[in-house]
Structure 1
């Protein structure tokens, strides 16, 4: 009997963290903690990313929004999960990270995924909505209703809010709590 397929484990194996880190911190790629990338931002702790991706339950062919794309690592992981029949849109506020993350993403050759500059004062990508899944790698003090509104029917949003990881499902914006985490602030 063969082992059951673990899509998240396969995504991590196909998308090494090292390739998404600045040269000066690549030697620490196996460290299970956040690592500084630029502009006061971090590449998230691998265990945390794993937890978030499992909560998100991404399926092949879905449209996914990655808020706070940073180094491009989560965008590339999501791209692996949706496959070429899906779409991943990463948004990032820091221009230097858009350039860095886009370059990293291009190097793994997943052209169905992209990272673009977020619009200041706009959370997520309301013009591109609805999304089947939304992953947020920065922490607001309260759940942004604008992100919930960007979910498709049967959509899922995973977001750390005031230190607690939330999973929000549609229809009905049903919220469940999934442990305590720390993230950079969502701006």
Structure 2
């Protein structure tokens, strides 16, 4: 039997040593959420290897260091309204919820209905559905009914900032999004200045491409 708790602690310690995990909030969240519970049984062995893993529909669950990095960049705290584009298995949404001490709400959109259902099952099993609300649809359009959002997390690469997502970001909000630039992708932190995007590059990344409803 794998001691998942010990493996989780070793990974978190490593991410702290690398300077990726910087806050107590993100450390606590990464220690609390069992990544193995968000993986198909055949992948659980790799739950605490710091690597992305391919799941159904050709999608991936991000590497733990990327989940931690994006959560740090979002500056999560209790009481926020967070929009996530790209639910995947539900793991990242659960980490966001824990980083907010389960006080706040995470709205998350998944393009693939089957994957959204899988995420709901995972989140329900671990008691997150009071904090995390899963929707099926075109993530580039956001969820205008629930806007504005204090934080927007995008886990799929887009050719530019989707205009509807930027509209739904609150005036003092933060968006973290990978943007395609030629043959590469760059992770950006986006804020609003005079209702225009201020983009701060962070690092090169590799995400699946964002899917759009009209495709």
Structure 1-normalised TM-score? 0.92
Do structure 1's residue 134 and structure 2's residue 145 form an aligned pair? no
Distance between the aligned counterparts of 1:117 and 1:44, measured in 2?
Answer: 20
Structure 2-normalised TM-score? 0.81
Who is 2:191 aligned against?
169
Who is 2:202 aligned against?
178
TM-superposed deviation, 1:100: 0.5
TM-superposed deviation, 1:174: 1.4
Residues 40-79 of structure 1 mapped to structure 2, 5 A cutoff: 40-79=58-97
Q: Which runs of 4 or more aligned residues in structure 1 lie more than 3 Å from their structure 2 counterparts after TM superposition?
A: none
TM-superposed deviation, 1:123: 2.6
Aligned residues: 183
C-alpha contact (below 8 Å) 1:62/1:132 kept by paired residues = yes
Distance between the aligned counterparts of 1:104 and 1:83, measured in 2?
Answer: 19
Who is 2:18 aligned against?
none
Distance between the aligned counterparts of 1:121 and 1:10, measured in 2?
Answer: 28
Is there any run of 5+ residues in structure 2 with no aligned partner, and where? 1-21
Residues 25-174 of structure 1 mapped to structure 2, 5 A cutoff: 25-110=43-128, 111-118=130-137, 120=138, 122-162=140-180, 163-172=185-194, 173-174=197-198
Q: What SS class does the counterpart of residue 55 from structure 2 fall into? A: strand
Who is 2:10 aligned against?
none
Q: What SS class does the counterpart of residue 39 from structure 1 fall into? A: helix
C-alpha contact (below 8 Å) 1:43/1:71 kept by paired residues = yes
Please identify the structure whose Cα radius of gyration is greater: 2
More helix by share: 2
